[in-house]
Amino acid sequence: MKIGLVGLGKMGLNLAQNMMDHGSEVVGFDLNKDFVDQAAGFGAEAATSLDDLLSKLPSPKVVWLMLPAGKPTEMTIDNLVKVLDKGDYIVDGGNSFWKTSVADAKKAEAEGINFFDCGTSGGQSGARHDGNFMIGGTSKEAFDAALKPVFEGIAQENGYLYTGAAGSGHYLKMVHNGVEYGMMEAIGEGFDVLAHSQFDYDNEAVAKLWNNGSVVRSWLMELCEEAFAKDANLDEIKGTMHSSGEGKWTLEEALDQQVATPVIGLSLMMRYRSMETDTFTGKVVSAMRHGFGGHAVDKA
């Protein structure tokens, strides 16, 4: 399988290497030429433009986008719909809003182009090895025909799922991120209570303990351990907890559906609060976000 990958940032570059490790050929394009050069250094075929990328792909063409949600993704999809042929594929692997993906699918499918929205989890390390993918799109038949073998290679065992109609992949990823907000907030609050207690806990040792046999063991706890190993009390970073928007989307959808999600709702409110006043909870969550996604942290 030869895949055109558009967007070679933190996630895209790792995904390109993952694909190539599992038998796919990758043609890479990014507006940042340095990123294209990095991909070429790993064995990808470099493209100088979107048109150049398309010229290097066999039919049916598979164009996979790893771009920021919003204008960059939508402009690229609009361009692709005009130039791709019937039977070609667009895969949006970014964090697009699910309703936008539904609309994008209608535009593509009106031209006979297969469209798939792919929620990608696991952070940079997941993009590089054994990722987790939630995929909605045109049809199960179209998915099986071209994309299933790719996901079987790049995903962890049982780590991908065709979820049905277009939009369902990004919807599932949205809810996944809402759950993630609540989990990280609870972990951060727990360490905040420990930090205010009369006892002198070793945060790294606690995280290691909790991640070996306890009910709360998780990758997030592992990320805490790694963060505390570098900075025992996270003194070097601020507790500002940035958000990408998917927690807000999850809460808005829950309100529309009249589903009670108090934990997700309050975790989102705490993200907003952290932008005003520093908290130890915020430091822990910020450290975890940096650990799995390479998200920016604010230095103290």
CB-CB contact of 244 with 219 (8 Å):
no
Catalytic-labelled residue, pool 61, 180, 246, 248: 180
Q: For 116-136, how does the pLDDT look when each residue is reduced to its tens digit (9 = 90+)?
A: 999 999 999 999 999 999 999
Cα-Cα end-to-end distance for the chain: 47
Q: For 171-229, how does the pLDDT look when each residue is reduced to its tens digit (9 = 90+)?
A: 999 999 999 999 999 999 999 999 999 999 999 999 999 999 999 999 999 999 999 99
Say which residue the tokens 């940079």 belong to: 124
pLDDT band at 278, cuts 50/70/90?
confident
Catalytic-labelled residue, pool 173, 185, 248, 283: 173
The rounded distance, in Å, linking the Cα atoms of 199 and 105 is 56
- Mean pLDDT is lowest, of 61-70, 142-151, 268-277, for 268-277
pLDDT at residue 291 greater than cutoff 80 = yes
Q: For 195-207, how does the pLDDT look when each residue is reduced to its tens digit (9 = 90+)?
A: 999 999 999 999 9
Known active-site residue 180: yes
Name the nearest CA neighbour of 281 among 146, 215, 184: 184
Known active-site residue 173: yes
